[in-house]
Amino acid sequence: MNKEVDNPAGSIPRHVAIIMDGNGRWAAQNGRPRLAGHRAGVKSARQIVEACAEAQVEILTLFAFSSENWQRPAEEVNALMRLFIEVLQREVATLHDNGIRLRFIGARENLPTILQKRIEDAENKTAANTRMTLMLAVAFGGRWDITQATRQIANKVSTGELDVEDIDEAMVSRHLSLATFDDPDLLIRTGGEKRVSNFLLWNLAYSEIHFSDTLWPAFDSTDLATAFEFFSQRQRRFGQLDNQKEASAD
């Protein structure tokens, strides 16, 4: 039986980011092809989206396909692109009916044209929804994100729109993919690996990080509750001392 995710005050992160790792290993352990692992991962994603929405998480960001994943065998990459298209066709209406806003971050210009169109349609259809924002990182990399932000800022400096002296952390943040969203409070990585794998490098600076040994297709609301319990026990100081945080809260 799955453990329900309770929501006592302050225990649920507003923004959860997840590196969904372990689809291939799950498939191998179960004697199935890698695509079967990815399909099983979609089912886990659906369950976690529902659980986060029920727990009143405001933003859920899922790392679905990294900029490095293009280096995988072409057969697997093509199968993943077809799976993305299939999932969007099947799931968007349900997400919309449940008040979920869908957003995508990443180099979408590198994606197949039909997938770009499905992404645009999904974003437009769900744009007014307010229950939770589901952000899918597709063809995304943290270094790519910082590089494209740097390029935008450099162009503005070269045209005189910005002075070099205007560039600060806030300026850089406004040009990143999460420009209009708060940074993740909690990063969850499944599959037992303990690294961030070029995910939201800038935005994870002060995120709490929970590593789960559970492979993503087996990750369920019980595992999510464990991650939230971990988060509720953390004291987030953002570089300050304990007494400084206490004083700022008074």
CA 99 to chain centre: 18
3-state secondary structure of 221: helix
Q: Is residue 7 among the annotated active site residues?
A: no
Tens-binned pLDDT, residue by residue, of the chain (250 aa): 344 555 454 579 999 999 999 999 999 999 999 999 999 999 999 999 999 999 999 999 999 999 999 999 999 999 999 999 999 999 999 999 999 999 999 999 999 999 999 999 999 999 999 999 999 999 999 999 999 999 999 999 999 999 999 999 999 999 999 999 999 999 999 999 999 999 999 999 999 999 999 999 999 999 999 999 999 998 766 555 555 555 555 5
pTM over 0.85: yes
| Active-site residue flag, 198 | no
Which region, left, alpha or beta, applies to residue 238 given φ > 0 means left and ψ of -120 to 50 means alpha? left
Residues 23, 30, 69, 183: which is the catalytic one? 69
Rounded Cα–Cα distance for residues 199 and 18 (Å): 10
**Catalytic-role residue among 7, 21, 30, 129:** 21
Helix (H) or strand (E) run with residue 78 in it: helix 74-97
Q: Is 186 helix (H, G, I), strand (E, B) or coil?
A: strand
Q: Which CATH superfamily is domain 15-141+183-249 in?
A: Decaprenyl diphosphate synthase-like (3.40.1180.10)
